[in-house]
Amino acid sequence: MSKNDVTTTTDDTCVDELYTHETRQTITLHFNHEALQSVMRKSDPYALEFEYTKVMMGFMLFVAEPKDILLVGLGGGSLSKFCYKHYAQTVITTLEISRDVINLRNTFMIPANNEHFQIIEVDAAHYLQHKACISDVILLDGYNSSGIPAALSSEQFYADCYNALRPQGILVVNLWRKDPLFGRNLARIYARFNKKVVTVKCESGNQIVFAFKDIELPPFDDVWKKALAAKSTTGLNFPQFLEDMVFNARNNWFYTDV
């Protein structure tokens, strides 16, 4: 096993002591001794290991053939690699502020940049300013050792995400329920997306937020069939994800007659 230490500083003046830990079966990425950030199985490096990352892929039920998927936060590249594997014709762009995280891409078998896959070293809050209709899906999983940086949870940032989505687009956000600002962040997303939001609670303490822009929901039977098919092709339990979305809806717009 190996342990490689490196220190990086974010715009929120939080110092992360990044290191990897390797066993015969896995490689893990840590922000510190208490924060496990990512896990990769060597036998299946493109698989998703954490429950919350699997739930985040629930957007696949509503966006049939995205032209572009934008990810905020690279980590060990789990979400980026999974999207790249299952969307061969989609442009997958990942924004990551830390060069030290990006420098670990070979360790986590993250593909090199090409016409369908890009990792950009940039502050996502700056990148998304004044962007309009550039993506069909935004996956927001940008954390440091202290939680979500303030720049990635401001009212302006959520507004920029909304503007960056194309009509019928979806913002998917990983929130942590024990975060003191959880309620505030969730309320900001609800407000920006006109309450067209559903959430799924994970046993890990994560809560995944699906925020829909100008959504026209397809018939539930069609989505259910897609969930069954997607489970077969990906191994992820999409029917359960869909049920959780329906049961956790806080308003009367999301498949109320199911």
**pLDDT computed for residue 174 by the predictor:** 97
The residues of the chain scoring below 50 in pLDDT are 1-15
**pLDDT computed for residue 189 by the predictor:** 98
**pLDDT computed for residue 102 by the predictor:** 96
Which two three-digit tokens encode residue 142? 């940008």
CB 19 within 8 A of CB 30: yes
Alpha-helical regions (H) of the chain: 51-56, 78-86, 99-102, 124-127, 155-164, 182-192, 220-234, 238-248
CB 146 within 8 A of CB 112: no
Give the pLDDT confidence of 33-90 residue by residue, as tens digits: 667 889 999 999 999 999 999 999 999 999 989 999 999 999 999 999 999 999 999 9
**pLDDT computed for residue 33 by the predictor:** 65
User: 3-state DSSP call for residue 5?
Assistant: strand
User: What would the CATH number be for the domain defined by 44-248?
Assistant: 3.40.50.150
**pLDDT computed for residue 36 by the predictor:** 83
Reported as type and span, the H/E element at residue 178 is none
**pLDDT computed for residue 16 by the predictor:** 57
User: How many residues are recorded in the chain?
Assistant: 258
**pLDDT computed for residue 17 by the predictor:** 76
